[in-house]
Amino acid sequence: DSGVTQTPKHLITATGQRVTLRCSPRSGDLSVYWYQQSLDQGLQFLIQYYNGEERAKGNILERFSAQQFPDLHSELNLSSLELGDSALYFCASSGGKPASYEQYFGPGTRLTVT
Amino acid sequence: AQKITQTQPGMFVQEKEAVTLDCTYDTSDPSYGLFWYKQPSSGEMIFLIYQGSYDQQNATEGRYSLNFQKARKSANLVISASQLGDSAMYFCATAPVYQGGKLIFGQGTELSVKP
């Protein structure tokens, strides 16, 4: 158990819909990262937050947005869903200890768009 | 830009033998980290080992060791005494070493351990 929690574990929805994925980082970690894993694109970085502020952006679509709340949990919002958005979405956290760079991943949310 | 190359899509190893999974990297960051993750069929990503670019010694964590050769830009994972539970996908990744560097992953190597 990495200490990172993600809900829900599975999500099945229709095209055009909007969903919210939730992540709680490990206790003490200030950074939260979102990654997408799909068969054709592999593991791709989407976005990172550090202590409530956006730190870095990767290949995140405009239809996707995220935020980190004061209690450090984070949400990834996916809207106008398309079939190609079906993927495993991971949240990871790091930064709990000084000079600690390891990122610990949650169990992931498997999104299926039908 | 950073890039990770894992040239072995799949590998087999006999139980109790050692195996080396290859990883080469390319990065322009002056200070960076190299990571290995394991992804079993259940899907979770398990952190295995980390090597900093300025670390003088190769990292070890139990049966895992990272063979870091900076001049060759390689960061191979060595698993000693393979176990059936080691069967999984293994991903090499790199990230700049500052507060919160994003991970760039390779395509992965699928390891199968035979009894």
Please indicate whether, in this complex, the C-beta atoms of A2 and B46 are within 8 angstroms of each other: yes
pLDDT at B102 over 90: no
pLDDT at A98 over 60: no
Contact B109, B4 (CB under 8 A): no
Q: What is the pLDDT of residues B28-69, one digit of tens each?
A: 888 899 999 999 999 999 999 999 999 889 999 999 999 999
Q: What is the pLDDT of residues A24-61, one digit of tens each?
A: 999 989 899 999 999 889 999 999 998 899 988 998 99
Q: What contacts B12, CB < 8 A, 6 or more positions away?
A: B111, B112, B113, B114
- Which chain B residue has the Cα nearest residue A100? B99
Q: What contacts B71, CB < 8 A, 6 or more positions away?
A: none
Which of chain B's residues have a Cβ under 8 Å away from the Cβ of A94? 100
Please indicate whether, in this complex, the C-beta atoms of A43 and B91 are within 8 angstroms of each other: yes
Give the up-direction half-sphere exposure of residue B77: CA atoms within 13 A in the CB hemisphere. 29
- Which chain B residue has the Cα nearest residue A108? B44
DSSP letters spanning chain B: --EEE---SEEEEETTS-EEE--EEE---SSEEEEEEEE-TT---EEEEEEETT-SS--EETTEEEEEETTTTEEEEEE-S--GGG-EEEEEEEEESSTTPPPEE---EEEEEE-
Please indicate whether, in this complex, the C-beta atoms of A95 and B100 are within 8 angstroms of each other: yes
- Which chain B residue has the Cα nearest residue A3? B46
Confidence tier at A9 by pLDDT (50, 70, 90): very high
pLDDT of residue A100: 62
pLDDT at A110 over 90: yes
pLDDT at B100 over 70: no
Please indicate whether, in this complex, the C-beta atoms of B52 and A101 are within 8 angstroms of each other: yes
Q: How far is B23 from chain A (nearest CA, A)?
A: 16
